């Protein structure tokens, strides 16, 4: 039985909130420090269009690393698998999401996977368009279609706060440019990437995007295939193997669903053929995942038997 009432979800959120005291909001992007560490909200979107929620689900959250799934989908639709995987690999790293070490030590020059920063930068590089504006516009149009929300945009303050402090991502770009993985102006790529990470939506929209992946790219409400099946499956597989950074293995055991987190405290979950999940809880654990969100998903998985394994 899936979680089916607001009351049930509220009870789980209340229980999960007990761990918030052990978390901390991200501070390496200065604008993210403004978030309230006590927040934890969640929405679930079902294929029949019904949704349930708990907490303040109307506040906007920036996608941060959750955007990596969406740019991967668009780049695959733009350029095809062969081109994308000539620039990025398939394997989990076991390192923090912003680590540079494997670029130097692994045999191939390619970043290991599209869910770490290096891999995501290589994927964003592939988004088609004549200018940063056009590429961003195409990405926004794609995300608006997935969420069914024309109002989705990016938070300019968060984007410029990250851009100004993005020296590690800058270093990743230069490293990859040296090896020919990317060949565009690094500042332009960072401009696009930081705006991509600052795209914002509320938990309800996030759960709706999660549902599209859960349904293999099809929007069951509008009865439209928005992402090709094979692209949606590929993205979901990366969500399982690399979606929660270097906690993906433990998450697969404790929760067992395709999911992707971001340092804003967002988590998008896709329970295959059942429902999409959007969570916002800005207090993070030491790896950078929403501490309350992880707990909530664990409780949901236990109670509603969500594991795909
Ligand atoms: N914008 C963030 C960064 O590149 C995204 C990282 C994340 O959410 N883990 O550092």
Q: What is the DSSP string of 83-132?
A: HHTTTS-----SS-TT--HHHHHSSSSS-S-TTSHHHHHHHHTT---SSH
Would the CB of 198 count as within 6 Å of ligand 1?
A: no
User: What would the pLDDT profile of 31-78 be if each residue is shown by its tens digit?
Assistant: 999 999 999 999 999 999 999 999 988 899 999 999 999 999 999 999
- The domain that contains 282 carries what CATH number? 3.40.710.10
Q: Residue 129's domain spans which residues? A: 65-197
Q: Which of 197, 216, 245 is the last residue of a domain?
A: 197
What separation in angstroms does the CA of 181 have from each of 175, 192, 271? Answer: 9, 17, 33
Q: Is the pLDDT of residue 202 over 60?
A: yes
Same domain, 72 and 26: no
Distance CA 255, CA 300 (A): 8
**How large is the average pLDDT for residues 222-246?**
97
Q: By percentage, how much of the chain surpasses pLDDT 70?
A: 99
According to the model, what pLDDT value does residue 215 have? 98
Distance 154 CA to ligand 1 centre (A): 15
309 within a domain of the structure (yes/no): no
Q: Which atom of ligand 1 is nearest to the CA of 197?
A: 1
Distance 178 CA to ligand 1 centre (A): 22
Q: Is the pLDDT of residue 191 over 60?
A: yes
**How large is the average pLDDT for residues 179-196?**
97
According to the model, what pLDDT value does residue 2 have? 53
∠ CA(12), CA(15), CA(18), 5° rounding? 145
Would the CB of 69 count as within 6 Å of ligand 1?
A: no
∠ CA(273), CA(19), CA(70), 5° rounding? 40
According to the model, what pLDDT value does residue 56 have? 87
Would the CB of 238 count as within 6 Å of ligand 1?
A: no
**Element spanning 279, H or E:** strand 275-280
78 within a domain of the structure (yes/no): yes
Q: By percentage, how much of the chain surpasses pLDDT 90?
A: 93
137 within a domain of the structure (yes/no): yes
Distance 305 CA to ligand 1 centre (A): 30
User: What would the pLDDT profile of 63-121 be if each residue is shown by its tens digit?
Assistant: 999 999 999 999 999 999 999 999 999 999 988 899 999 998 988 999 999 999 999 99
Would the CB of 288 count as within 6 Å of ligand 1?
A: yes
User: What would the pLDDT profile of 210-233 be if each residue is shown by its tens digit?
Assistant: 999 999 999 999 999 999 999 999
Three-state SS at 171: helix
Same domain, 128 and 24: no
Would the CB of 161 count as within 6 Å of ligand 1?
A: no
Residue 54 contacts residue 252 (beta carbons within 8 Å)? no
- The domain that contains 99 carries what CATH number? 1.10.1500.10
Distance 56 CA to ligand 1 centre (A): 23
What separation in angstroms does the CA of 19 have from each of 33, 54, 255? Answer: 19, 17, 17
Q: Which two tokens stand for residue 292?
A: 């309350």
Would the CB of 142 count as within 6 Å of ligand 1?
A: no
Question: pLDDT grade, residue 3 (50/70/90)?
Answer: low
Distance CA 245, CA 267 (A): 12
Distance CA 218, CA 201 (A): 20
For the ranges 1-5, 172-176, 248-252, the lowest mean pLDDT is seen at 1-5
- Judge whether 193 is annotated as a binding position: yes
Q: Give, for ligand 1, the residue of 96, 197, 265, 284 to mutate: max count of ligand atoms closer than 8 Å to Cβ.
A: 197
Same domain, 208 and 170: no
Residue 293 contacts residue 261 (beta carbons within 8 Å)? yes
For the ranges 6-15, 100-109, 237-246, 271-280, the lowest mean pLDDT is seen at 100-109
Three-state SS at 73: helix
Q: Which of 179, 197, 215 is the last residue of a domain?
A: 197
According to the model, what pLDDT value does residue 253 have? 97
Which are the catalytic amino acids? 65, 68, 193, 245, 263
User: What would the pLDDT profile of 131-150 be if each residue is shown by its tens digit?
Assistant: 999 999 999 999 999 999 99
Can you tell me which residue has the tokens 């410029």?
A: 160
Task: Kindly tell me the sign of the dihedral angle through the C-alpha atoms of 260, 210, 75, 163.
Answer: negative
Distance CA 122, CA 113 (A): 10
Question: What number of helices (H) and strands (E) belong to the chain?
Answer: 13, 10
Q: Give, for ligand 1, the residue of 69, 195, 263 to mutate: max count of ligand atoms closer than 8 Å to Cβ.
A: 263
**Element spanning 268, H or E:** strand 266-271
């Amino acid at each position: 039985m899936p979680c089916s009432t607001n009351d049930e979800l509220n009870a789980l959120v209340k229980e999960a909130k007990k761990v918030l005291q052990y978390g901390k909001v991200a501070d390496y992007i200065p604008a993210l420090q403004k978030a309230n560490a006590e927040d934890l909200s969640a929405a679930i979107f079902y294929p029949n269009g019904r949704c349930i929620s708990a907490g303040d689900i109307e506040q906007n959250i920036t996608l941060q690393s959750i955007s990596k799934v969406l740019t991967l989908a668009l780049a695959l639709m733009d350029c095809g698998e062969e081109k994308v995987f000539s620039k990025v690999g398939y394997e989990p790293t076991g390192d923090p999401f912003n680590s540079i070490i494997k670029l130097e030590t692994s045999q191939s020059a390619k970043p290991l996977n599209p869910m770490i920063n290096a891999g995501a930068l290589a994927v964003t590089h592939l988004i088609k368009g004549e200018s940063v504006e056009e590429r961003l516009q195409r990405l926004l149009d794609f995300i608006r279609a997935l969420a069914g929300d024309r109002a989705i945009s990016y938070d300019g303050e968060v984007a410029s706060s990250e851009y100004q402090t993005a020296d590690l991502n800058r270093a990743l770009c230069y490293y990859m440019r040296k090896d020919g993985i990317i060949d565009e102006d690094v500042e332009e790529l960072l401009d696009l990437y930081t705006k991509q990470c600052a795209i914002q939506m509320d938990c309800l929209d996030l759960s709706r995007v999660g549902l599209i992946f859960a349904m293999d790219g099809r929007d069951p409400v509008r009865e439209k295939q928005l992402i090709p099946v094979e692209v949606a499956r590929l993205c979901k597989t990366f969500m399982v193997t690399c979606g929660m950074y270097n906690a993906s293995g433990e998450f697969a055991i404790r929760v067992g669903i395709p999911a992707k987190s971001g340092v804003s405290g967002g988590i998008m979950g896709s329970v295959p053929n059942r429902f999409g999940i959007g969570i916002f809880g800005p207090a993070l654990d030491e790896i950078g995942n929403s501490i309350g969100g992880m707990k909530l998903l664990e409780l949901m998985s236990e109670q509603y038997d969500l594991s795909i394994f």
